[in-house]
Amino acid sequence: MVAQRRLPTTLRTRLRHLEQKWPDPGCLGCRDRRGRIAFALVRALADGSVVPVAGYPEPCERCGQVPERIIREIEPYGAPGRRTGSVT
Ligand SMILES: [Zn+2]
């Protein structure tokens, strides 16, 4: 004799349980970029601000955010060749 397995009552119940387990995917435009790391070279200016030189990722077209975790390599103002790392 085979024991009958109990099934969830409705599809709606099953879906609700699935939705509770599933984390919010957030913006669909940059979902696959989140959690990645990008290296960018930036240059420090005299006033203390920095401008991107190379490698800075484009913002998401949908939400306007840059989802990658950016590791900036800073080229100090007036001192080419001397660089210091910074994680943002
Ligand atoms: Zn986005």
Tell me, what's the pLDDT at 12?
85
Reply yes or no on whether the pLDDT at 81 is more than 60.
Answer: no
- The dihedral built from the CA positions of residue 23, 24, 26 and 30, taken in this order, carries a sign that is positive
- Strands of the sheet containing 50-54, edge to edge, are 50-54, 37-44, 69-75, 84-87
Cα 35 to averaged position of ligand 1 atoms, centre (Å)? 13
Cα 47 to averaged position of ligand 1 atoms, centre (Å)? 31
Taking CA atoms, 61 is separated from 4, 58, 71, 83, in Å, by 51, 8, 21, 31
Task: State the pTM of this model.
Answer: 0.53
pLDDT digits (tens, 9 = 90+) for 6-39: 665 788 888 888 888 877 778 999 999 999 999 9
Cα 24 to averaged position of ligand 1 atoms, centre (Å)? 13
In angstroms and rounded to an integer, the radius of gyration of the C-alpha atoms of the chain is 23
